[in-house]
Each structure stands twice: as structure tokens, then as C-alpha cells.
A and B are shown apart, each in its own frame.
Chain A
Amino acid sequence: MCASLCAYTKAAGHGVTPPPEYSGAAPQSGGDVVFKILTGGCTVVVLVLIGAIFYELLANSWLSIKTFGWRFLVSSDWDAVRSRFGAASSIYGTLVCTAIAMLLAVPVGLVTALFLVELAPPRISRLVGTGVELLAAIPSIIYGMWGLFVFAPFLSNYVYPGLQSGLGFLPLFDGPTTGIGMLTAGIILAIMILPFITAVTRDVFMMVPPALRESAFGMGATTWEVTRKVTMRYGFKGIIGATLLGLGRAIGETMAVTFVIGNAHRIRISLLENGNTITSTLANEFQEAAAEPLFRAALIELGLILFVLTFVIQALAQLWLRRVSRGMGGGL
């Protein structure tokens, strides 16, 4: 089990019970006091850090907040020459790409976890499990390279023309089939968070008490029936937590999206059109913006919006997982 993934699942639950404290048991030596202050100080640094991030982002985007007010959130203007900025198209693109990624990755992650836990013989399960973990380890910029030079042309040549001839009457699939656009970005995001959702769901599935599943099998239920009616129902809350964690990752992903989304500041219904996300706007335009205070402040405000979004998602996931693991008697 990849430690970083595992850490996420353990995150809220504190699967391991902490050892009891001894601080009162023996007279403390001077070294102990120093050591305690030192390590406690590092812990405080971590606590201060998150406040500092929020403060810095807020302070440095203040110019833009003051200039545009709430209009920043709903305006889709993005004109560096006339210094008019709005976040609407970036927020829209972020939400659309994340939604596509979740719609694809959650069901596929679920059945892949089902395969790993219930169906595959141990050796194959280990092989596929390692493969899925390696998929999680590949840096996001590599996904970007592959997406831009290999996957987007593939979609443009073989998949999108067929999609358009079949579903082209829908405004969602109207437009050019260049392979660069929001749908491609969403699919690549889905591939990137798939290992994540698979890993957490697998852990949730394995937590279901064997007696529960075995008794369902004993009643004559098929594997799918046991999964749907026992395993998934038992682990439903854990799966929600996994989904939230995947969502938090997808929404902040930068490089892979920046490569394939096309970076156009506009809102289009069609998923095949170019778009942009908060992260791709930041990555693309930062260097030109560095010299102009208002442009820079607008970009940092985009960062602030993203930070608040991910913070809320993370906090919800934590509280949720903590509640769930308490309800299940720990272990998640």
C-alpha cells in the first residue's frame, strides 16, 4: 500500500491508537524540556503555516478584491490591456472538468476496487494493485506531455468524430474535434484520480467484517449482490469520503490540465471547446502578470478562491471520515 495514499485514509481516523503519555511518570530532565519545546515548536510552525497561506493570499489579492468586489466571481471578462478581470470562466472550467473527472473515475474506481478485493486471485490482485499505485506515482507533468502529444491526437482521430456523429445533436458535443478542450482535460483528470479512489475504496471494502459478507454468500447471493447490498452499503460512508478526497485532488490539479485544455477565457456549453481552469490560468499567465499589480492581484485572488474551495472540501472530508470511522469502531 502506497504510504501517501494510505496516509489519506488513515488521516481522519487515526487508525493507530497513540501510546499513553509518560510525562508525569518520571521527573523530567532538562534535555526533555528542550526536546519538548523543540518538537512542539515545529508543530506550531505547521499550524501557523496554514494561517500564513490564507493571510498572504488575502493580503496580496486585496487590490483586486477592492477593485472588482463580488463582480469578480460572476464576470467572465479577462482583458489584460484594459485591466478588467473576472473569474467566471476559470471557475466554470474548473467545475466542468472536475465533474467530468468524478463522473468517470468514481464508478470505474468502484468496480476496479471490486475486482481487486472480490474477484481477482491474490497474485493478479497484487499485480493490478501495484499498477494502480504506479499510475498514482507518475508526476502530473508527465500526464500533461502524454495528454498533449499522444492522447489528445488519439481522441481527435478516433474517438471524437464518432462521438460527434452519434451525439453531435447535443450542444454538449458540438464544435471542433481538435482533441484539445475541456472533455480531454476531464478524461485525463479522471485517469489521475482513478488510482486514488480505487485505493481508498479497496481499503473500505476490506474493512467490511468477513462474517457479514460470508453470511450473505451463505444465503445464496451472487458476488455482485453481496457487493451491492452488503459491502457497498456497509462502506457507503467511506466511499463518500474517498470521493471527497478525490474531488479535492482533481480540483487543484495543474500541469496535466494546462497542457490540454487550450486556455481560452470564455464559457462554452460544448465540452469539446477550449476552456480554462483556475489552475491553468495561474500557470499560463503568471509570468506576464508579474509586472502589473492589478493583473497579479487578480491571479492571486484566483488562487485564494481555489484555496478556500479545497480547504472546505478537505475539512468536510476529514470531519466526515472521522465520524464514519468512529461509527465503525476505527480502522479506516
Chain B
Amino acid sequence: MTTDKVRKRQGDTVTPAEGPGRGPGLRPRPRTGRKACDLAVKILSGFFALLALFLLAWILSTVIRRGAIALNWEFFTELPPVAGAEGGGLSNAIIGTLLITALAALMGVPIGMMTGVYLAEFGAHSRIAAPARFVINVLMGTPSIIVGVFVYTFLVLPFGGFSGYAGAVALAILMLPVVARTSEDMLTLVPNTLRESALALGAPRWKVTLGVIFRAARSGLITGVILAVARIAGETAPLLFTALNSPWEVDGLGQPTANLTVTIFQYAMSPYDNWQQIAWGASLLITVFVLVVMLSTRFLLRTRSR
């Protein structure tokens, strides 16, 4: 490594600390103790980096090993079994999760992206821009369970009952700040010359934004949306207070709706082996989805930057 080379060269030339004006205080300090300390820290940091990889491998291998046993054709086609019985699957929860997540994206993405557009293109220095950025960051760090409780008090209590719609609203609120933040960042990355040339052709601002800026920032915007979807797909706490769960087929989102994550929570906490096994199957499904999405966006970004 270059740093080592530099240090060695330095050691060779500096050690004879003689010459006019050089007091004994400038003599190099003994190196053995310092080198030992350096080595200890290097070994320690390598160890912890390895530990992080080891933990990842441990968690993933557990989920894959235990989840793979539970996954079969029935898992995707049948309704949940009664406690203790064999067979059965989570077809309703898979459909429910897909529906709730899709509806959440339908609400969260447009609002989030519009906010990003306002902050980047129209009102970057307006009076509400600074507080809006602040609030977006605070929302991003607000625990998801708080959003769940909020939607419970806001939609579930007044409208009489848990519903898939309320679940979708909760997830949309969680998506909102992520989409807004990444959209703003991606739009500000678009060079100003593009805006200027489009405006010089006489295009109105909104056409410039939709037709030129969006096209230039497309892959970044898509990445932001995908990451936000991946984030909400694994959320459990907000759904616990809103969509709850149900052992029945999904029949519209107007009532408690089956979904994968709350099912994992309820089945894992139950004492029945067959339910716990199904929970592992659902865990594998969620994990694979989230990680595949994560890795593919990384790949997308890397190929773009080349």
C-alpha cells in the first residue's frame, strides 16, 4: 500500500535528526509501541468487518434454510391452515401484500415526486422550501409504528374498522419522504444547460420539467421509487394498526386484509409448528424480494455511471 511505502521512505531519511537547530525534542519517538497499537487496531477493524459479513451470512442462511422447506406449490395457492394442521399456504397474504403495496405506491409516488419537483424546480428558495426539507428529513426518521398509530386514529377509528386502505395510506406516508428526497436530489443533479436550452426554445417551465428534466433524471427517479417500495414491502408495525390480518381470501381492501408481514408476526409468536414454518416461508419471500430489488438498483446505477 502506498501509505506504507511513504512511511518507510520517511523513516529512512528522517531518523538522523542532527544538524543545526534541531533539539532532542525533535528526535523521532520509539516506534515499537506505536506500531503494535497500529497493528492491534488494524486486526480489530478487520475482525469487525468480517463479523458484519458473518452476521449477514448467518441471517440469510437461516432464512433460506428454514424458509425453503416451507415453500411449495401449496404455499402460493392455498389459504392458511388451521393451527396444527398440515399443508395450507399464504395465497391470500401474498395477494394482500401486493395490493396494499401497489396502492401505497400509487398514492405515495406522485405526491412525493411532486414535492421533489417543487423543491428542485419551482420553489427551491421559496419560504416553505426550508421547512419542507426539514419536515421531510424528520418524517424519514419517524418510527414506522408512529405512522401506524397515526393512521389508526385518523382513519381506522372514525371510519369504523381496520382496512387494507388504511394500511396502504400508512405505507404511502412512509414512502413519501423517501421519494421526495431522492427526487429532489436527482432533479438538482440535472445540469442547468438543459433547462436553459429548453427554455430558450420557448417551452413553458412545466413542459421543460416533464419532457426534458424528467427524461434526463429518469433512471435516478426510478431507482428512488424502487428503493422506497423495497422499504415499505418489509414493514410490519404500521400494518398491525391498520390492515391487521385475516385468514380469508382478499375481497376488496375495505376490511382487514391478509398480508405477509403481520402473518409472520402472528404465526411466529404462536406455539404451533406448522404456523411457525409458514412464517419462515413468508420471511424468505420478503427477504428475497427486498434484497433482489436492492442489488438490482445498485446494478442499474453502476451501469448508468459507466
Q: Decide: A217 and B3 in contact? CB cutoff 8 A.
A: yes
Contact B268 A128 (CB under 8 A): no
A44 to B124, CA, bound (A): 14
**Inter-subunit contact B143/A115 (CB<8 Å):** no
Q: How far is the CB of B148 from chain A (nearest CB, A)?
A: 8
Judged by a CB distance under 8 angstroms, whether A20 is at the interface is: yes
Contact A128 B11 (CB under 8 A): no
Docked-complex contact A56 and B154, CB < 8 angstroms: yes
Complex CA gap A116/B49 in Å reads 8
Q: A137-B290, A139-B235, A222-B35 are in contact. Are A307 and B115 (CB under 8 A)?
A: no
Is the Cβ of A254 less than 8 Å from the Cβ of B145?
yes
CB distance from A287 to the nearest CB of B (A): 8
Q: Does B303 contact A (CB under 8 A)?
A: no
Q: Determine the distance from Cα of A224 to Cα of B146 in the docked complex, in whole angstroms.
A: 42
Contact flag A19-B118 (CB < 8 Å), given A282-B145, A303-B145: no
Answer yes or no: B217 CB below 8 A from chain A CBs: no
Q: Which residues of B are found within 8 Å of A128, using beta-carbon distances?
A: 49, 52-53
Nearest chain B CB to A119 CB, angstrom units: 6
Does A148 sit within 8 A of B, measured CB to CB? yes
Interface residues of B in 201-231 (CB under 8 A from A): 204-207, 209, 223-224, 227, 230-231
Q: Which residues of A contact B178 (CB under 8 A)?
A: 4, 7
Q: How far is the CA of A148 from the CA of B213 in the complex (A)?
A: 48
Is B227 within 8 A of A4, CB to CB? yes
Interface size class of B (residues with CB under 8 A): 35 or more
In the assembly, what is the distance between CA of A150 and CA of B268, in Å?
13
Stretch at the interface among A35-43, A78-86, A157-165: A35-43
Contact B154 A52 (CB under 8 A): yes
Interface locus among A178-186, A268-276, A308-316, A324-332: A308-316
Is the Cβ of B28 less than 8 Å from the Cβ of A43?
no
Whether A254 pairs with B236 at a CB distance below 8 angstroms is yes
Q: Are B137 and A318 in contact (CB under 8 A)?
A: yes
Taking A16-B185, A23-B205 as known contacts, 13 extra A-B pairs with beta carbons closer than 8 A to each other, sorted by chain A number, are: A29-B204, A39-B121, A44-B128, A47-B128, A56-B153, A116-B49, A131-B52, A134-B295, A138-B290, A222-B38, A251-B143, A259-B269, A307-B143
What are 20 sample pairs from A and B whose C-beta atoms fall under 8 A apart?
A11-B181, A28-B204, A45-B111, A45-B115, A49-B135, A56-B153, A60-B157, A114-B45, A128-B52, A134-B56, A135-B56, A149-B268, A220-B10, A222-B35, A252-B146, A283-B240, A311-B138, A314-B137, A318-B134, A318-B137
